[in-house]
Chains A and B, each alone.
Chain A
Amino acid sequence: MSVLARSVGNAFRNKVRTAAVVALLAVAIGLALAMLVANQAVGAKVQELNASVGTVLTVNPAGGQGGPAGQNATTLTTSLTAAIDAGTLGGRNQPANGTTGTTTAQPVRSLPITATGIGGEVDTIGKSLTITEGTGLGDYTAESANALLGTTLAEKNNLTIGSTFTINEQTFTVAGLFDSGPTFGNNALYLTLPTAQTVAELPGELSSMIVTVDGMENLEAAKAALESALGTDKADVTQGQNLESAVSSLGSVKNISFIAFVAALGTAGLIILLIMVMLVRERRREIGVLKAIGAPNRTIGLQFVLEALVLVAMGSAVGAAVASFASGGIASALISTNTTTTAATTTGRGAAMAGAAGGAGMPGGGAGFPGGAGLPSGNPLGGASQLLTSVTASASPGVIAAGIAAVFGVAIIGALVPALLTARIRPIEVLRGE
């Protein structure tokens, strides 16, 4: 029987205790792996945010920072019906339910459809539009009569690719459908910028401009250059710093998850250390016997290290299963706990801007234009809260393998101490109790 076989046998000598130790290790290792997965996921998200949102500058007319407040949206007439009935939001259209008094029928109100002219297939925060059907807008000329419709809006109006609708009696063709996530964002449409300027009779005017800088390091210089070129009295240049605190929160989550990973790892090592010290004390006489019949210290030490690794291997198997189920929830809980304040602030701003756009809309067909700033268009932070919390914590095999390697490393360190203790046990122990 080899040392390994003997170690495996020893690991199962007391099945109840082994089960308890494995359960404890599984919790610690599972937590460590879940934290590692969360750490990796949040790290990737921080990188993504820094690469996309963090390098975007928004230019608005002076006095209208962050939204269209400094400029009234143009109201147009369209054949489209808004996808969102405002009454459904607050139950304001529900009939009175009483035995006395009078019931006054409330007019049905709809949130306005926002239409935005764009110069590329990106939304107003510089994020690529997700085209779910059809194509993009094609060439961005004044002659273009193509439009991109939000999926909700298209569905409400029974429009598909190739269908037509009118804005100010001008016919447009649905070239594509996009999905921006929230229903509000999909109650919108995009035209090419020149077409929008023409339809709104605002040639050459822009309500906002998105500038994507090639890197975070050039952000300040680009902002200064834009302010210098446009004049600070005419334009406000804001950067994606509104998300800075949110990204910082995510950075905190990353740090917390790493600390928790190390702590859980340390706990697993401590469990191994304590259980192996207990086993060594319990088997002093047996160790004495092994020494009496000629076992070298290294063989006995190796036997205990391998026994510890067998326990860790079982704990890792169960822990990995636990982590694969729990990591998503743990990551979400960590993120939602640490980004609640930021997300609330961001959402509040978005709502305020939506209100500004709503004021310019008309039930059943109003369209803020071209500075329509309803969600998601016109709001540089419209999808921020969703962007922040949409972290996918998937347990990739590489991360799990790295985590388990770390666990085994810690377990070896934890097992070495008791293994070295065995060297101090004298063979005379064999006569104890005789």
Chain B
Amino acid sequence: MIEVKNLVRTFNSGDRTIKPVNDVSFVLEQGTLASIVGKSGSGKSTLLSLLGALDKPTSGDVVVNGVSLAGMPDGKLTEYRRRDIGFVFQQFNLIPNLSAMDNVMLPMEFAGVRRTERRQRATDLLEQVQLDPEKQVRRINRLSGGEQQRVAIARALANEPKLILADEPTGNLDEQTGDHIIELLSSLRRDHNTTILVVTHDKALANKTDRRFRLQQGRLTEEPARALV
């Protein structure tokens, strides 16, 4: 379970203080597929980075399975990201000179998984995201955008995290590939009881989630359980 308590993040820009995340609170039960929608610059990615311990809040706290991230030392935060979080970035952020297989194996290497086991698990994950076997050993820069996004999802699943944070996972993809990614995320939630929080502009994707939030000027509101228009 993720509990977000009065989360605030401010930035100073000259004389002005910007609050992309302003007193945000919500709770997500384990196995929930949730989405956050909002205009560009509304603070969606900032909120995601706070939940994923990429950034530290100005105030407030994020509690994951009863453990508070506030005041946690950097080493522990790294461990939290490695063990409990899977990131899917809008621009994939894969390591360009490594193969798809190596990219998926990377988080497992950091977690100390044995070489044979991580290769087997990476193969399984890449099959799960339907990446052809011959493309699994290709370098990232020789894969299409959709294929790269699938590798990014496989990498996010590598250490079987409790929470997946996906920033515009379909943003750079065509409609068909986007649909496939949505199916994949839904199946993950269903099969692994993984909590998934998706930041998206894509209303179709948002409508397929259990809970939908809207972020406006740093403030989060939950949408009613009906289709977004």
Those of A281-309 within 8 Å (CB) of chain B = 285-286, 289-297, 299
Interface segment, A194-202, A212-220, A426-434?
A426-434
CB distance from B40 to the nearest CB of A (A): 11
Q: Is the CB of A434 within 8 A of B55?
A: no
Q: Is the CB of B78 within 8 A of A431?
A: no
Interface segment, A5-13, A56-64, A121-129, A271-279?
A5-13
Q: Is the CB of B54 within 8 A of A431?
A: yes
Closest to B84 in A: A294
Those of A414-428 within 8 Å (CB) of chain B = 426-428
Q: Please, how many angstroms separate the alpha-carbon atoms of A286 and B155 in the complex?
A: 15
Give the residues in chain B near A295, CB-CB below 8 Å: 78, 82, 106, 110
- A1 on the B face (CB < 8 A): yes
Q: Please, how many angstroms separate the alpha-carbon atoms of A10 and B98 in the complex?
A: 9
Q: Is the CB of B107 within 8 A of A434?
A: no
Q: Is the CB of B90 within 8 A of A434?
A: yes
Number of A residues with CB within 8 Å of any CB on chain B: 25
Partner of A294, one of B78, B94, B95, B105: B78
- B180 on the A face (CB < 8 A): no
Give the residues in chain B near A1, CB-CB below 8 Å: 98, 102, 105-106, 109
Give the residues in chain A near B98, CB-CB below 8 Å: 1, 6, 9
Main secondary structure, interface of A, reads helix
Q: Please, how many angstroms separate the alpha-carbon atoms of A126 and B94 in the complex?
A: 76
Give the residues in chain A near B57, CB-CB below 8 Å: none
Give the residues in chain A near B159, CB-CB below 8 Å: 294
Q: Is the CB of B79 within 8 A of A294?
A: yes
Q: Is the CB of A428 within 8 A of B49?
A: yes
Give the residues in chain B near A428, CB-CB below 8 Å: 49, 54-55
- B52 on the A face (CB < 8 A): yes
If the complex has contacts A294-B81, A294-B82, are A13 and B97 also in contact, measured as CB distance less than 8 A?
A: yes
Give the residues in chain B near A427, CB-CB below 8 Å: 53-55, 81
If the complex has contacts A428-B49, A431-B54, A434-B89, are A294 and B83 also in contact, measured as CB distance less than 8 A?
A: yes
CB distance from A338 to the nearest CB of B (A): 50
CB distance from B77 to the nearest CB of A (A): 8
28 contacts between A and B (CB under 8 A): A1-B105, A2-B109, A6-B98, A9-B97, A10-B97, A285-B93, A289-B94, A289-B95, A290-B95, A292-B54, A292-B81, A292-B87, A292-B93, A293-B82, A293-B106, A293-B107, A293-B155, A294-B111, A295-B78, A295-B82, A296-B110, A297-B78, A426-B54, A427-B55, A428-B49, A428-B55, A430-B87, A434-B89
Q: Which residues of A contact B (CB under 8 A)?
A: 1-2, 6, 9-10, 13, 285-286, 289-297, 299, 426-428, 430-431, 433-434
